[in-house]
Amino acid sequence: MEFVFVFIIIWIPVAWYLMFRLDNKRIRSYFTGQGNQIISITWRIFGKGWISESSKEGGGNRIYEVEYKDKYGNIRHVWCKTAALAGVFLSDEKIIKHSEIYGRPMTADEKVILLEEEIRRLKSGIN
């Protein structure tokens, strides 16, 4: 009986540690694969959408708050849900700091030019 108790006491922290490490790796590869740079990943037990997750058997996905720098230099905030056999699901993404060129915020015309370049790049990948 003591063996079972000791096994559980040791196994639970190890399992949680491994879960969070794998989640972190999954989230990092999702964002960096799109050309973004992670600033922070923070687990939030009561993050956005936790009520819908708490009704599932076994708890479901874990929720993380992520800040990252996109490939255009904007700093973004997003809520992520993920689990061992699931992908990364995003919600409530917003820009918290716009990108800057030469120490100043980008103008609307500069943003349009970047968007047009991105559209051309995406169209060239479709053909």
- Which residue range(s) make up the domain with 63? 2-101
User: Burial code of 84-112, b = ≥16 C-beta within 10 A, e = fewer?
Assistant: eeeebebeeeeeeeebeeeeeebeeeeee
pLDDT confidence band for 114 (50 / 70 / 90): confident
Give a yes or no: residue 113 inside a domain. Answer: no
pLDDT at 25 (0 to 100):
93
Give a yes or no: residue 127 inside a domain. Answer: no
Residue range 3-56, pLDDT digits in tens: 777 778 888 888 888 888 999 999 999 999 888 999 999 998 877 766 665 555
Answer whether 0.75 is exceeded by the pTM: no
Give a yes or no: residue 115 inside a domain. Answer: no
φ and ψ at 60, to 5 degrees?
75, -140
Q: How many domains does the chain have?
A: 1
